Amino acid sequence: MPARSSRRAPRALAALLIFGVTIILLGGRLAWLQLDQGPALAAAARAQQDRQLQTVPTRGEILDRSGHVLADNQMAESLYALPPDVTDAPAEAATIAQITGLPETGVQQALTSKAPWAWVAHRLPRAQYKALLKKNLPGLFFQQEAQRVYPAGDLAASVLGFTGSGGKGLDGVEYYFNQQLAGTPGSIVEAVDAYGNPLPQAPLKYTPPKNGLNVELTLDAQLQYLAQTLLTAAVAKNHAKSGIALAMDTRTGAILAMANVPGFNPNDWQAVPPSAWRNPIVESDVQPGSAFKPVVAAASIDSGQANPNTRYPDPTGHITIQGATIYNWNFIGLGLPTMTEGLEQSDNVVFSQVAMDLGVSRFYQYFDRFGLNRPTGVDLPGEASSVAPSPATVYPLELATMGFGQTLAVTPLQLLTAEAAIANGGVLMWPHIEKALIGPNGQVVQTVQPRVVRRVVSQATAQAVTQMMEAVVYKGLGQPAQVPGYLVAGKTGTAQIPSPKGGYIPNSYVVSFIGFAPANNPRLAVLVMVTQPQGANAFGSTVAGPVFAQLIRTGLHDLGVPPDQPIPAATPTASSGG
């Protein structure tokens, strides 16, 4: 007997050990399910017991600097499906597709989705909504959703952009500030049984959506309207291809107007080709021509290479460099003019010599200082940058032509931002279009403060170049840009348009006028460019100058800038060119 008992003891001990290990493993598994997988399993269980409908927030408005609404919302009916309640998906999809024009396969995918609910169509036209409502299709329901509208039609369209399916911003301010404008969706959660039927007496769980913020821009709607109106007239009168106008507060970098012609209506943005949506002021570069000469003058004076009274020989109206001949716009020489006189008459021979005397290293040093070698960082999408030869490979002819704004290309925004620095005493400001973010209840959430980028030239240099630009307006080619009651500083521009095959397109130009006022205490800088105007007298002074003058006059009034000292009497010389 003792011998049999001793044989059973190891078996019992082994069984006990196996049982213990099993208990430990089961306990570990249970702990893992509880601690690690518990939240996910609980969520899955809730999903089988709950049906959730997302509620859409109201998109924030876009406002001008005075609170005028540029982008708003109006309510429209949107269609969604509860797939478990759809009784005949193919038939219902065919009906919906016939009424709305949506692809039948896409509609059927929504109706047969494994999700508890699915959007079928956003923001239906009124007639489609009424037609579907009469059908009373099982499992189909309507919810009001805000539809984006632009009350002023094409006003600032390329700046504002537009929204697409689901109200998402696709371009312009709508795209750049989409996160702030969009808000956060809410939800309605309904308890259902295993068959998807609502549980009686079960309360609905409602999480309200968080509406989007309003974006207040620095744009002045009245000045923007004037810019588009004047630009449209100038393009039509001169049978031009297109035009742009840009206005900026010189002290803050705030963009007050940004107009592009031709434009488009963002309420019907799909009716035009994608190329029409572009904002060339920000997204395209252009050879600035003589409008670039103030930057070259500033670099020469600030570096100590020359001064406004330094003289440059121009006896014939042309100069030959590396076997190529550079001509003045009128083929006339000025003899031995000063740099100021060369700017007044937009003399290419003079500024070729200014650039060559400056040298490659210093030319690019100031090109960089003025922020022309990189994007400005403006708060708009798609910003382009400048195009210029590499400093290591620049040869004398290229340097000479860059002296009068050819060979290199900059965006219109870069050009005005750089010359606004001259108006601002030599201090470069960050250009921006956001003024503030406003909450749904009117509370200010964020205010944009002016941002200094750097000092680019001394105050003395800025003052000297300003006086040279005054001479352009009152003694030189820029006389059409005079504004009664205000002292104006400016510069004409005429640039050849490069050919894709190399060289330049014959008789094809971009004409411009750039400047600021009041010259003795600048507040407003404006750039006007018109592409491919037709006619023998289609110059920057005659085509862009008058538009510039009217924008300066209205813009200073809107800024509350009173007229300054009486302007000097004009002394007519040449009447066009530059």
Give me the catalytic one of 78, 158, 290, 512.
290
Distance CA 190, CA 12 (A): 55
Distance CA 516, CA 286 (A): 21
Distance CA 94, CA 137 (A): 12
Distance CA 495, CA 402 (A): 11
Distance of CA 394 to the CA centre of its chain: 32
CB-based contacts of 174: which residues, under 8 Å, 6+ apart?
62, 71, 148, 160, 161, 162, 163, 181
**∠ at Cα 445 (439, 451), nearest 5°?**
135
Distance CA 239, CA 48 (A): 67
| CA separation, residue 97 to residues 88, 120, 121, 136, 137 (Å) | 14, 10, 10, 15, 13
Tokens read off for 275: 């190329």
Give the SS3 label for residue 359: coil
User: Is 6 a known active-site residue?
Assistant: no
Give the dihedral sign, CA 80/83/86/92. positive
Distance CA 62, CA 68 (A): 9
Asked if residue 511 lies in contact with residue 481, where contact means CB atoms within 8 angstroms, the answer is no
Asked if residue 491 lies in contact with residue 578, where contact means CB atoms within 8 angstroms, the answer is yes
| CA separation, residue 215 to residues 111, 179, 442 (Å) | 37, 11, 11
Distance of CA 261 to the CA centre of its chain: 16
**DSSP code for 74:** E
Amino acid identity, residue 265? N
Tokens read off for 256: 């007050």
Give the SS3 label for residue 269: helix
Give the SS3 label for residue 510: strand
What end-to-end distance do the CA atoms of the chain give, in Å? Answer: 125
The DSSP bridge partners found for residue 121 are 79
For 140: left if phi > 0, alpha if psi spans -120 to 50, otherwise beta; the answer is beta
CB-based contacts of 345: which residues, under 8 Å, 6+ apart?
328, 334, 337, 476, 477, 573, 574, 577, 578
**∠ at Cα 548 (405, 370), nearest 5°?**
40
Distance CA 394, CA 545 (A): 33
Q: Smallest Cα–Cα separation from 228: which of 210, 203, 246, 215?
A: 246
Asked if residue 527 lies in contact with residue 517, where contact means CB atoms within 8 angstroms, the answer is no
Place of tokens 């997302």: 54
Q: Which residues are catalytic?
A: 290
